[in-house]
Amino acid sequence: MTGGERGRTMAQVDMLESGRSAADRQDTGSGGRRAGVGRAIRAGSRPEPWKRGPVFAALALLLGLSMLLHAQIPNGIGNLGSLVETCLPWFGLFVPVLLAGAIWRRSASATVALLLPVVVWLNHFGGLLGDKAQAGDEITVASHNVGADNPDPAGTARALIASEADVLALEELSQQAKGTYEKELAEAYQYHAVAGTVGLWSRLPLSEIRPVDIKTDAGPLGAAKSADVKMPYNRALRATVATEHGPLAVYVAHLGSVRVNPRTGFWTVHRDRGAQALAEALAAERNGRVVLLGDLNGTTDDRAFDGINSRMRSAQAVAGDGFGFTWPAKFPVVRIDQIMVRGVEPKSAWVLPATGSDHRPVAAGISW
């Protein structure tokens, strides 16, 4: 064998060895991946992970079913159903807690069970997480429970003027502060009306102004009192705003307060009665274009507002950014101040900065 032939032979051997090494590496890599998948499958198929953490699995299922079937939770004992619906957005905080427990217990059953509350929460509230605002709003409306104990009504009025709202609703107007608001808002708003503890200020002409009976408690022997005597207790009004597109019916309402205490649970008697009366007034409204502004002392998830929800849409849900919580002002955890519409299109909705009130103002841009 010549030197050249020996060289060619050695090169061929090297190539064969190199090819075998590459193939071996490939087989080893593929085998490693297959082994890893196999180990995962075997681990998941073993009964131990599925038997661990039954308490966490049960709690995850209970959480998911509570959110999914909240409308079926009875209100018979302490208005439990309404209380659950009021707190519904916060149920999502239990998911990471239960997930941590599932990981700690290495529980496959609890981990899988958590898919139910995650899917239900995202289906119910996922649409609120993004900014849905659009351009093209023609009128800005705003609403604020100014607080009867507000230490700075003049400053609150100036802050509301800065919002540049075309139509502004105020709730919880005290007799002492009423004159201050009328004075401070007079230059920016040519038209206004006050009925009891609620008022409406507008840059556009107002007409057909009247109080709305929402069954407010007028104190002892309220049913026997005359309309004039009961007027200071009034908490709702209706007016027509003249716009370039025709008349717009605007309702301002402040429903009764709610309380949570050990004896009565979630006490909502006055609010629920007012919500039903307001729903009836909205149902009887003949104008197809309606805006409801006010402190409803409840979230739109609460079954007490089914009658209103069936006729109106929440501007925050349609065109807002996030949950739009409004109360308490220092650290809002719930949205009880609402802007709802019918026959007009919400283009944007937002929460305004805090004032001297314990509520934050809300605003929305609407168009036709």
With beta carbons less than 8 A apart as the criterion, state whether 92 and 128 touch.
no
Q: What distance in Å separates the CA atoms of residue 313 and residue 157, rounded to the nearest whole number? A: 28
Q: What distance in Å separates the CA atoms of residue 209 and residue 192, rounded to the nearest whole number? A: 10
- Tell me the two tokens of residue 312: 């109106």
Residue spans per domain, the chain: 47-128, 139-367
Residue 266, SS3 per DSSP: strand
User: Which residue has 């079954």 as its token pair?
Assistant: 303
DSSP structure string for 152-207: -HHHHHHHHHHTT-SEEEEES--HHHHHHHHHHHTTT-SEEEEETTEEEEESS-EE
How do strand 259-261 and strand 246-254 relate by DSSP bridges?
unpaired
DSSP 343: S
pLDDT at 49: 80
Q: What share of the chain is helix, strand, coil (3-state, %, to 5)?
A: 45, 20, 30
Assigned fold of 139-367: Deoxyribonuclease I; Chain A (3.60.10)
Q: What is the pTM of this model?
A: 0.85
- Each residue's pLDDT tens digit in the chain (368 positions)? 554 555 555 455 454 455 555 445 555 555 566 665 555 555 555 668 888 999 999 999 999 999 999 999 999 889 999 999 999 999 999 999 999 999 999 999 999 999 999 999 999 999 999 999 999 999 999 999 999 999 999 999 999 999 999 999 999 999 999 999 999 999 999 999 999 999 999 999 999 999 999 998 766 656 656 667 768 889 999 999 999 999 999 999 999 999 998 888 999 999 999 999 999 999 999 999 999 999 999 999 999 999 999 999 999 999 999 999 999 999 999 999 999 999 999 999 999 999 999 999 999 999 99
Q: What distance in Å separates the CA atoms of residue 235 and residue 213, rounded to the nearest whole number? A: 8
Q: What distance in Å separates the CA atoms of residue 43 and residue 37, rounded to the nearest whole number? A: 10
